[in-house]
Amino acid sequence: MRKPFDVWAPDAGRVSLLAGGDPIPLREAGGGWWTPAAAAPAGEVDYGYLIDGAEEPLPDPRSRRQPDGVHGLSRTFDAAAHQWGDEGWVSPGLDGGAIYELHLGTFTPEGTLDAAAERLGYLADLGVAFVELLPVNAFNGTHNWGYDGVLWYAVQETYGGPAAYQRFVDAAHRHGLGVIQDVVYNHLGPSGNYLPRFGPYLTQGNANTWGDSVNLDGPGSDEVRSYIVENALMWMRDYRVDGLRLDAVHALKDERAVHLLEELAAATEELAEETGRDLFLIAESDLNNDRLIQPRDVNGYGLEGQWSDDFHHAVHVNLTGETEGYYADFESVGALAKVLTAGFFHDDAWSSFRGRRHGRPIDLGRVEPRQLVVCTQNHDQIGNRAAGDRLTASLGYDELALAAVLNLTAPFTPMIFMGEEFAASTPWQFFTSHPEPELGKATAEGRLAEFERMGWDPAVVPNPQDESTFSNSKLDWSEPGSGDHARMLALYRELLALRRIEPALTAPVWPGGVDFDEDERWLVLYRGPLAVVVNLAAEDRTVELRRVAGEVAFATSSALPQGAGLWLGAKSAAVVRLSAAARD
């Protein structure tokens, strides 16, 4: 069993611990591990490691706190000291309840965990089931999306550190909200990554989009994988989060017989049995491969859920008309209909963006639709646009209401991006705060060059290093109280309440079918005794239904049963309870 201050440094010839200002020699403990050769200080202490006679101490790869930033000394943290008050909390698991994705730095003016905790009552009243936090592990600088993290065990100090994180989860559970933490295991940030000084954490020459890949299958990878698995368990054990969102798992380069994802799923299941809590993993993947969420006993990876970007793309194209890049294949109502019934659009279908066939069909007999997490906006789909513009920049209230209906009545697990529920007008842009001038300059120039290649006007691309890019991305909390912002918030609350009182909207079964008309641009989704009727056209439509329309349970504007169908105004939607009678 590892002791405090043990460290894995298999390539080092000599390692010392600098703790409380005093050097303490470490001795080899086998397997590349080093352990203190003399008594180490107890209690809260600042410490670092000196490798092979180096004069500058390095932070602990498993550091829980970095009070002076990622280049400074680590500080011990006793996770067991927190007195939890969430004894009555029971997670619903990934059962179709809505997820609210938020970035701590821009969710509130203060940008801290404690400030976010003060708005948990608002989220509980909204009607979501889970709060999903973008990455909070330690990065260099004061603000960042979170995907430049370099110390995976430490909570970013500008957010409040690990104690504030425990307070946030505790408060969320007392409000009846679960917590999902976004974690990044496929790459590390560009500043403060000292892991290669300790051991073979990375595989040089085997890069992904963000740099050298994490060493998952080469020499020394057993300990690297343990480093990742133990980190995942830390969030669920010490901080009591209910689930993890695994970033970009398609970038994990792993050729071992048991994939890292399968290993993570098995460890999560074991911890769930040990604690009696419902714990789960959700993968972000662009592979369109349901093996990720197939059970392990049929050679799947055993994850509980995965993102489906195809849903986002189909909704986005049908509402905005944008067809550039990866949107090109989704230019039809039929594409949306296929996603609603099959989960993926690219299911071994031609992908013009990739220039090849892509994906595989979902096994609808083994996979439940709730296992697909979908959205109409998220941090990537907004922030990776040149100007970081939300749908509110190009769509009016009626189209935004259609997006809400499609997201919250589909058979999948819906996710809402912070501010979406009140049609936030603020952008959410790509921002960084690299203290190193050369890194900041390279980041800004690279961002600009990327969008110039795509034909964007450079004038609309904000400099990620400008403080205003970050401050402009903060939510304006004066908006939800007035005008169409308040109207949209009421609509989201009504739809989320409808999900709670209509079992058909969260039933773990695939839809009873979809009817649509490409020319007239309407679509009907059948969910048990309910029909979700959507008019995407700029004209009023009377849409025929398979059964006689009864009570209108929800509508974005006027909706009237009419003969054998339902009359809808232009660009509007309704949820209708169907009678038992089939139409003539």
Q: Are 444 and 479 in contact (CB under 8 A)?
A: no
Question: What is the average per-residue pLDDT within 257-262?
Answer: 98
Which residue, among 155, 157, 134, has the nearest Cα to 146 in the 3D structure? 134
Question: What is the average per-residue pLDDT within 275-292?
Answer: 97
pLDDT digits (tens, 9 = 90+) for 360-370: 999 999 999 99
The DSSP symbol for 135 reads P
Question: What is the average per-residue pLDDT within 287-303?
Answer: 96
What share of the chain has pLDDT > 90, as a percent?
91
Question: What is the average per-residue pLDDT within 454-473?
Answer: 89
Which residue, among 382, 383, 380, 379, has the nearest Cα to 430 in the 3D structure? 383
Is 230 tagged catalytic?
A: no
Q: Are 73 and 19 in contact (CB under 8 A)?
A: no
The DSSP symbol for 583 reads P
Establish how many alpha carbons lie within 13 A of residue 273's alpha carbon, considering only the half-sphere containing its beta carbon: 6
Q: Are 114 and 431 in contact (CB under 8 A)?
A: no
Burial readout 484-502 (b: 16 or more C-beta within 10 A, e: otherwise):
bbeebbebbeebbebbeeb
C-alpha separations of 394 from 355, 386, 423 in Å? 29, 14, 12
Q: Are 556 and 402 in contact (CB under 8 A)?
A: yes
- As a whole number of angstroms, the distance between CA 105 and CA 142 comes to 9
Token code pair at residue 83: 């007195």
Is 247 tagged catalytic?
A: yes
Angle between helix 483-501 and helix 397-409 axes, rounded to 10 deg: 20
- As a whole number of angstroms, the distance between CA 556 and CA 567 comes to 13
Average pLDDT, the chain: 95
Which residue, among 385, 407, 394, 376, has the nearest Cα to 473 in the 3D structure? 385
pLDDT of residue 457: 78
Q: Which of 132, 284, 368, 502 is catalytic?
A: 284
**Percentage helix, strand, coil for the chain under 3-state DSSP, each rounded to 5:** 30, 25, 45
Q: Are 130 and 92 in contact (CB under 8 A)?
A: no
- As a whole number of angstroms, the distance between CA 84 and CA 77 comes to 16
Bridge pairing between strands 349-351 and 33-36: unpaired
pLDDT digits (tens, 9 = 90+) for 524-573: 999 999 999 999 999 999 999 999 888 999 999 999 998 889 999 999 99
Token code pair at residue 122: 């608002």
pLDDT of residue 206: 67
pLDDT digits (tens, 9 = 90+) for 402-441: 999 999 999 999 999 999 999 999 999 999 999 999 999 9
Contacts of 243 (CB under 8 A, 6+ apart): 94, 130, 178, 179, 180, 181, 236, 279, 280, 281, 282, 304
Question: What is the average per-residue pLDDT within 68-86?
Answer: 97
pLDDT of residue 581: 64
Task: Give the Cβ contact number of residue 458 at 10 Å.
Answer: 10
**Range with the poorest average pLDDT among 145-159, 391-405, 457-471:** 457-471
pLDDT at 208 over 80: no
pLDDT at 177 over 90: yes
Of the pLDDT bands very low, low, confident and very high (cuts 50, 70, 90), residue 583 is low
Question: Is the whole model's pTM more than 0.95, yes or no?
Answer: yes
Residue listed under structure tokens 């705060």? 433
Q: Where are the beta strands (DSSP E) in 171-279?
A: 178-183, 202-208, 211-214, 243-246
Q: Measured in whole angstroms, how far is the alpha carbon of residue 202 from the centre of its chain?
A: 24
Residue 74 gets the label, from left (phi > 0), alpha (psi -120 to 50) or beta, of beta
Q: Are 547 and 526 in contact (CB under 8 A)?
A: no
pLDDT digits (tens, 9 = 90+) for 211-250: 789 999 999 999 999 999 999 999 999 999 999 999 999 9
pLDDT digits (tens, 9 = 90+) for 118-134: 999 999 999 999 999 99
Which residue, among 319, 340, 318, has the nearest Cα to 329 in the 3D structure? 318
Q: Which of 148, 157, 242, 247 is catalytic?
A: 247
